[in-house]
Structure 1
Amino acid sequence: MDASSQFQDTLPITSDALLAQLQGWGLDYMLHEHVPLRTVEDAKSVEDAMEVPGEAAFRVKNLYLRDKKKRNYLVTLEQDREIDLKALGAQLGVGGLSFGSPDRLMQTLGVRPGAVTPLAMINGAQNNVRFLIDAAVKGADRIYMHPLVNDRTVAMDVADLWGFFDRVGVSAEVLEVS
């Protein structure tokens, strides 16, 4: 199965249910539908169609990681940010950071590879996933991310993202990446 909305009914929480919940909480977003995006390069091919002139946009890439003690992490970075997992592990005081398996990703965040997103913390919070976000988000007006599937992108005010985290019980850690 791929990570598109065609298969959203196989997820613990569907993209449609997530979007309805965001609306119910009064968290505004703009929904964009597009071809499935699997990589940052794929995402860059559709960004112009979503562009809002004069907006400070935070476009993301997301890493689902595990450490040697099998603790789970979701790290959201600015899409062009380079990261050294060994250095990140040292910064976090954990060892052996590596990418988690697709099966573990589904178990902990309720998404498939290609659709990893900060919004997956609606599942990750109850599964003890530690969430870290690039400090570059502080300079942004809006964040662009998948709503649990990779053929949709939501543009949301960064303040509303923090409101989402409050609603799902996530303590987001701001990560200074050099």
Structure 2
Amino acid sequence: MSYSKDQLLQRLKELQLNFSTCSHPAVLTVEAQAKHVGHLEGALSKNLLLKDKKHRFYIVSALATTPIDLKVLSQRLGLGKGGLRMAPEEALQEILQVPLGSVTPFALVNESARSVGLLLDQGFKAQKRCFFHPLSNEMTISLAASELDKFLVSIGRSPCYVDLEENPPIGKDQPPDLAAYVPGEAPSLPGQSLKPVNNELPTVGSCMSEGSNSTTNMELKKGTSQSKPEKRKVKPEEQHKGTDNLAFVSDVKKIVDEIITRTSEVVISEVNKESIQLHGEQLGSVVSAGLKKRLGADLENLIMVLKNAAYTQGFHSGLRSQSHLRE
């Protein structure tokens, strides 16, 4: 079941966020939106739903004035120059569950969008207020970046702000700086059958702040056979990249800190004056149920990332052993 605009606004009120709204005719572009809200205090945003070759989806939310080079962004995510493209319109309806022209970070409230990655323009933080659609392009919501952060934390998502204009060199000794923000899974659209690619490593560089609830899905190459897998030589730079992507999951202290931080965020959002008055002695059970509901899938994803990391490390160790034997 997807959230409606009114349900989202009600949730924002329950979170006691400082925001305002402006109703207007449906708009499909930032330019059209500006005609209705341009006179108000705030910065316009452009929001893109992107897709990579492994059917993983990303929302890139930026100031309307921030240039976004998809080739550069693809390389920074470790996807290659042509790794990102605009997602098809059906993905808006099936995954974000919003109409055309309504892409927004608020769509992550829907269960169907749990595995969608989110990159936020760090330029938002310098603005007093920013404009976004609240699941409908017939309304604009105005709020500060700090208020958007509170909403994201309330749904179990850690805000990921990055400099979208940066173009750092990427190479053997300089791994992709945004690789940690690649989602850990790919949601399936109707009619798609996503299966593992023969001889390709599972994706390990998933952002620890992104939620997902199943193992990584990868597309089955055409013309290959599961009984006779196509041999593929792993390049040295690919081995290096995989090792760099394991840096986070190899640090036990960081993993524990991440679990504690995310648990604390959920507990804080669940326990407030209203919940104490409403549930009384049953508050402990309510909070426990909330933790299971909102953190269960994320922790499952974390364990899957660790499992994939162990598999990949073993794979690279095998390659090194074979290399030594040949020498």
2:48–2:59 contact (8 Å) kept in structure 1: yes
Structure with higher Rg: it is 2
Amino acid at match of 1:31: T
- Show CA shifts across 1:45-93 (max 9, x none): 12234x13xxxx3320000001011111000011122211111110111
Residue 94 of structure 1 pairs with residue 87 of structure 2: no
Residue 165 of structure 1 pairs with residue 155 of structure 2: no
> 2-side partners of 1:124 and 1:105: how far apart?
14
Q: 2:69 aligns with which of 84, 89, 94?
A: 84
Compared CA separation, residues 116 and 28, structure 1 to 2 (3 A):
same
> 2-side partners of 1:98 and 1:161: how far apart?
26
- Residue 118 of structure 1 is matched in structure 2 by 105
Amino acid at match of 2:45: V
Q: Secondary structure at the match of 2:21?
A: strand
> 2-side partners of 1:99 and 1:28: how far apart?
32
Q: Secondary structure at the match of 1:46?
A: helix
Q: Secondary structure at the match of 1:119?
A: helix
Amino acid at match of 1:169: G
Q: 2:34 aligns with which of 35, 38, 44?
A: 44
Task: Give the CA deviation at 1:31.
Answer: 1.0
Amino acid at match of 2:51: R
Task: Give the CA deviation at 1:125.
Answer: 7.7
> 2-side partners of 1:58 and 1:90: how far apart?
28
- Residue 43 of structure 2 is matched in structure 1 by 58
> 1-side partners of 2:113 and 2:96: how far apart?
9
> 1-side partners of 2:158 and 2:112: how far apart?
9
Compared CA separation, residues 92 and 133, structure 1 to 2 (3 A):
same
Which structure has more relative contact order (CA 8 Å, sep 6+)? It is: 1
Task: Give the CA deviation at 1:126.
Answer: 5.0
Task: Give the CA deviation at 1:112.
Answer: 1.6
Whichever structure has more helix as a proportion of its residues is 2
**Identity across matched positions, percent:** 32
2:60–2:119 contact (8 Å) kept in structure 1: yes
Task: Give the CA deviation at 1:172.
Answer: 2.3
Residue 12 of structure 1 pairs with residue 15 of structure 2: no
Amino acid at match of 2:67: E
Whichever structure has more strand as a proportion of its residues is 1
- Residue 69 of structure 1 is matched in structure 2 by 54
Task: Give the CA deviation at 1:124.
Answer: 6.3
> 2-side partners of 1:138 and 1:127: how far apart?
24
Q: Secondary structure at the match of 2:43?
A: strand
Q: 1:148 aligns with which of 113, 128, 135?
A: 135
- Listed as ranges, the gaps of 5+ residues in structure 2 are 166-327
Amino acid at match of 1:74: I
2:71–2:84 contact (8 Å) kept in structure 1: yes
1:58–1:143 contact (8 Å) kept in structure 2: yes
Q: How many residues end up aligned between the 2 structures?
A: 163
2:30–2:44 contact (8 Å) kept in structure 1: no
> 1-side partners of 2:10 and 2:109: how far apart?
13
Amino acid at match of 1:122: V
Which TM-score applies when normalising by structure 1? Answer: 0.85
Where has structure 1 moved over 6 Å in runs of 4 or more?
none
Task: Give the CA deviation at 1:101.
Answer: 1.2
